[in-house]
Structure 1
């Protein structure tokens, strides 16, 4: 001290003391305390009788404001008596507050010393007419020990703030009040208003719909390093009391805030200056609107935990609503009362700008619940807007039912004029099988002729889908469809999507023909044939199979099939080998029409007998038609033998002619026939032209014919008496022949 030039008076100095009293405070190692000797005068002071005495009392109390929580609210009724236009009236409320303050001063809480090494906590809260803040150190056991208290009475302008703005003002007030403690340090900011955590603490940025004042305060707090936390009101007494008992203050806390509010208000007024209404009319109508007036009151006083259904649209936006010059504002948009909404809608609709433009213009300036729906209804009810409107949004796709079989539903349409010609396109819905027919004329009779040509091959379809062309809407075509049981379905006019199956193929056909002809094809018919073959044999993406397989139930053979090995070569070789082996035990038979034969007779059961008959004609390679007793049977060559004798019902000369033989051979044959009752006849005699006979001696130039067999010479046939069991496979009843 000597080096610094200090001069001390010994009787006024005390060294090595446990505590020191200074400026009405007692300072010790634990912190600051209220000096009992200094506050005794306050404790003994009688109730003030005029404004001057009241000012003296409040001045003494304010000196110890750091020790009294909720001081601003507790002195509110006494501060009201200091106003110039208020008559002096010391009420019971003032007396109660007066005695309570003296008692709290006597029991003042200790304030700890500021320690740069300990964590800092700043809690702030707001009430209807005051804001308060407490800065504290957090102890080792998690308890908060106050360093200082601060509170402030809200001005009339600030009292008109929305509740969320009052809460934000409390935070900004606390930060600026204790700036000397907080600057350059990280601290925790406590609030009991949860929306402020999003506005002031969001890492994604400030919400756009926040009020301008909140956005400006959020920017101001960016100069501090803090972490904002939410604390329920029940656990937030240290700052809540200060806000409800604030210190009287005639000074504006945020000097620039009033000017900014005026700027915001001026902008709002200018935005509506050219409209049928202005901000003054809106503020007046807001007070007369029961719902919006209640909403404005809740914005200023605070929202309940739950709101009725009629006010839910405003309750959902309660954290973004504010009040400016009597108008409820949502962000930068003014909330319009019910009485003024029609005028603004008519103003928007003056130029018939359309729904989208009207919504965009309205959203830039004002809002009310259901505004978008009101704009849409206004445009829908306007004849000019409806008649000049563009295409409506497409309805959900309604697909055709899937056909169950080929040629059940057929789609038809015309393609052209293409290269000065018309083509009729027909597509099967089930298999996607196409037909392309070049049409010289497109009348109903020509279409019917094409349909008849196709129906001869494929039959009549169940359903036929076309557009509304004159050839399809004529009475002639309608009668044709009704006569043949075809259900004719026509799509809506001007909506080709309904017949999309044919329309898509029309486009594919035109594209393919254009490319093929451009590539050098000169014959259009040849190009169409090649295109149809390729299209019919190519798998489709919708069905996964080629059209020919689904439509014909087989694959068409194309030039590409030559690439695959022929599996039939091995099959042909196997058949040839089998025939060779089988034919080793067979003998060829040659028959001709008119020959007498005996054939197998199955009329009496599986026991086969032979019956006389006569060949009529060949049926196939190995089958013949045979007449037996006036009936015609079909028998295989294995079931036929040549017959050289005449049956009872045949004419005498109705025998098979045999070739003439020389006389010597005839005599030999005659002598041989005398020895046996029946000559041996070959099993099969082939009827051929007579061969040339060489010259023979005169003695044998006149040979005698062979003797004819008679019925007496033929041995009698008998039926077996053995009883046989008939197999079921012949279809006869058991036990019957």
Structure 2
């Protein structure tokens, strides 16, 4: 069989699919044996010979049509057994086929109106004279059967549209359609018109389809679609596409076939050869005898879906929560070699993210270096947060962390009157001597003593001498030296009603006033050529006399007068009683806060120890307990770091 481009149409103008052409030998009554071409088509139950073939074989069409045809009749023998079965079925259910109106059992219908609904009344329409008699008969039949009730006045009115329906008796009737068995109909109180029922038919037409014992086939509408001319505009094209979709289940790969036609619905797209080929292919598919078989539970069940190559790839309207982070990046996502990329970075699935984080943290770099490294190769939503989390909770990084940034200084509040709070410190082994340094917080008035011993007893003896001149202060501030932290010094303060304040060990800034005076004193003595005792007296004389930033000297602020020195030029200034405007900043640590405390013993290996704040002693001063059951240390905020604890999910 050879391919051919010939096309055939049947009497209904429907295309006949041509499979090919074959050449066969023939013989005539005269003994001739010519070879003729025969076209092989589908959908024909018998062979056809055309007029040209008849002439070539010496056959007379008149003789074939008139001499041999005597009578045309339908030779169909009635199936007596089938007719008897139908009659028996009707006799078994007499109530089902009664002429009276049926009532649906166990069912209530409630029609609800809106509270603000208004009645609608339409005038009756003129009825054609040809159907007036049939309409009156149909209305009267409905009244007799209890379907309608006549009323003289009614706020609601709808015009009647008489539609003639098929009836075996030629009268208007109501068609009853149902998909249930006769027992189901009878049990629910419904009725059927026997003259409207058909039994044992080879096929029936239902909803535009043919239903038969073989399955579901295309209805007569398919022939009408296959005869449609080519669309001339977008409107007719859309109409054709909508009608084709009605029989879409019979057309394999419909989306792929219709893709060129869907492309035509856009603006300024010309009709070309691909569109014409798709249009003709659809019509050929509609002309094919495709039947969907009935479901057979005895056969193997398979799932058949549209395997068309033309699909729609887009983001869903309702995006799942797991996909939302990628929606904003949709224009930068791509797929290569089975891997999802965000730009040049590979998108890591959640199962592999912990391993990638460990790789990023191999060098124990900080957060910024880890982020810069990740931005060259990998990505996932919230990757920066995950990097910060692993960097904060790394035990090795926390153990060897540098000192935290210095906390903003929180100056001592300036006392309201002199000699209320004094700061005390020792200058050890300076120019071969030990010195006791004391300064008033209000006036900055200095008192310095040359010490032969720095014991508690020797220190308190010098302090008693100064207090004999100026009185007992309300509070004294010292560091944690042995002479100041002893019980003897604590008792000495209690006996004199003095509050003893001291800061964290190794944090010199807490006692900054005394430390600053020690530095100034040392610088002055280094530059002096006098003996230490004489240089001390010279320093105290000029320091007490020199005006401060307020314009008043320490001596004037403490004693209310200036002392006389070699400089006799005095410019008195008004004492400022307003506290200085100092910006303060409180630490964010509170009681029971986890932290790391700086250890000054044990080497740099264990420099930071995990601890918990046990008491808040001031803006920057805390008591912390070393974990798990270690001692209590006093530390300044500069000697502490926050410790982040990992919360376990519930």
TM-score by length of 1: 0.35
| Higher share in helix | 1
